[in-house]
């Protein structure tokens, strides 16, 4: 039994800064070399015959709908496919379930003024800039990591969530910006501004569910007020631009979300949530759903307890970020980019404890193994076990344990 308890300590001791930096460098070289080779082709199709920045086509189409005043197609999947085909012949056969709020089309209208290739290049560049600024801003709040700038830089470049973000051309970078601003505001003692940042996630509402539950049950009313104000402002802008009927169509699309979930998440192994964990593990859908609800509630309870403790904003925000991913009703690998601040903050906390406590070692090991686990999702097709979800759940539990009043840390 003692050997098992010593395992995290032994692994953590093995994970020296130099070894982690080398592993991160190798991972980054492999990931980005494959990415560069795949997209290094003329035109908008990659070497696999797929559209470059595949999901960006959805945003590009929505932006053009806004420019051309075609709000009637915002929630017409077939109509959008025909519309996109006229914009870009290579887009034939690409269908996207219309679930985004109408304000998203207004957000992408400026990019829609350019050709698809130039718009995609601008969008990917903007995401790189957002990711770099967010990581830098959080790193500056991590005093114990200031002596390891190259290690932090290498691991940021090698982070699987960042890789998937650019590969898919998704908008989760904006969600990362919202969470980062929320953390910085909380660190500065500005809960109202933090709430505004979280409320801005209404364009991707599934990523705001955990925060909403935590803020309400933790009685963080300034945060709640700020979140409601920001969400209302976004939706009001969409209503003012498109009118009442479009808002009704949006509400109808959200109310039927479970009906289209198989279309939204055709590959469960690309998701890393409790819902996908149980669905892959168990062949009984009703039991899997019940267990996903029960485990999600348990994770939220631990996060609320952590939030109501005297723990630092770093620990509380880290727990909330992992909970956000775990309980999200719809999540794909590119959404993992929002966890970048949590990795920095927890590593900074661990680096500040020179005593090799079990929790310190466990955090270091779990953060390390999450990198390959986020990339090995396809193996779950055969194993039916998502180890990444188990690792993130363990990190939430540890965050709660170290925030408890009786904790020795």
Give me the residue spans of the domains in the chain. 48-403
Q: Of 37-41, 115-119, 300-304, 405-409, which range is least confident? A: 405-409
What is the reported pLDDT for 4? 38
Confidence category of residue 3, pLDDT binned at 50, 70, 90: very low
* Residue scoring higher pLDDT (355 or 199): 199
pLDDT in tens, 89-132: 998 888 888 889 999 999 999 999 999 999 999 999 999 999 99
C-alpha distances in Å from residue 248, one per residue of 81, 215, 238, 255 = 22, 28, 12, 10
Q: pLDDT value at position 80?
A: 93
When pLDDT is averaged across residues 330-339 and rounded to a whole number, the result is: 93
- CA distance linking residue 401 with residue 409, whole number of Å: 9
* pLDDT in the model for residue 265: 63
Euclidean distance between CA atoms 188 and 316, whole angstroms: 14
CA atoms of 130 and 350, how far apart (whole Å)? 26
The pTM score is 0.93
Q: Tell me what pLDDT residue 115 has.
A: 95
Q: Is the pLDDT of residue 259 over 60?
A: yes
Distance of alpha carbon 198 from alpha carbon 307, whole angstroms: 15
Alpha helices in 328-405 (DSSP H): 340-351, 358-375, 380-383, 387-403
Average pLDDT (286-294) is 95
Mean pLDDT of the chain: 91
Q: Which two tokens stand for residue 326?
A: 């775990």
Indicate the pLDDT class of residue 247, thresholds 50, 70 and 90: very high
pLDDT given for residue 95 in this prediction? 87
């Amino acid at each position: 039994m003692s050997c098992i308890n010593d395992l995290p300590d032994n692994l953590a001791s093995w994970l020296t800064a130099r070894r982690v930096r080398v592993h991160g460098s190798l991972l980054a070289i492999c990931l980005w070399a494959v990415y560069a080779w795949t997209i290094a082709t003329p035109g908008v199709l990659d070497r696999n015959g797929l559209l470059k920045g595949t999901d960006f086509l959805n945003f590009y189409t929505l932006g053009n709908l806004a420019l051309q005043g075609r709000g009637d197609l915002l929630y017409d999947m077939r109509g959008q496919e025909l519309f996109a085909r006229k914009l870009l012949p290579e887009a034939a056969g690409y269908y996207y379930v219309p679930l985004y709020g109408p304000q998203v089309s207004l957000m992408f209208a400026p990019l829609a003024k350019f050709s698809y290739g130039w718009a995609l290049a601008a969008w990917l560049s903007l995401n790189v800039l957002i990711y770099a600024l967010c990581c830098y801003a959080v790193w500056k709040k991590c005093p114990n990591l200031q002596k390891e700038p190259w290690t932090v830089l290498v691991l940021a470049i090698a982070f699987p969530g960042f890789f998937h973000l650019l590969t898919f051309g998704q908008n989760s970078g904006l969600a990362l910006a919202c969470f980062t601003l929320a953390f910085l505001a909380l660190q500065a003692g500005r809960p109202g501004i933090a709430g505004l940042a979280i409320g801005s996630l209404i364009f991707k509402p599934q990523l705001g569910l955990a925060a909403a539950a935590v803020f309400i049950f933790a009685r963080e009313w300034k945060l709640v007020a700020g979140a409601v104000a920001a969400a209302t402002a976004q939706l009001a802008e969409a209503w003012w631009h498109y009118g009442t009927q479009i808002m009704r169509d949006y509400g109808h699309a959200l109310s039927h979300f479970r009906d289209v979930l198989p279309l939204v998440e055709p590959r469960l192994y690309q998701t890393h949530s409790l819902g996908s964990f149980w669905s892959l593990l168990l062949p009984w859908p009703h039991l899997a759903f019940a267990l996903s609800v029960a485990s999600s509630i348990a994770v939220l309870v631990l996060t609320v307890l952590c939030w109501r403790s005297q723990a630092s904003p770093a620990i509380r925000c880290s727990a909330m970020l992992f909970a956000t991913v775990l309980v999200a009703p719809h999540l794909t690998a590119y959404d993992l980019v929002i966890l970048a601040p949590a990795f920095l903050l927890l590593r900074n906390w661990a680096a500040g404890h020179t005593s090799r406590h079990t929790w310190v070692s466990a955090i270091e090991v779990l953060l390390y193994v999450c990198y390959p686990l986020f990339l090995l999702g396809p193996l779950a097709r055969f194993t039916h076990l998502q180890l990444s979800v188990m690792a993130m759940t363990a990190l939430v539990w540890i965050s709660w344990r170290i925030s408890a009043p009786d904790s020795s840390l």
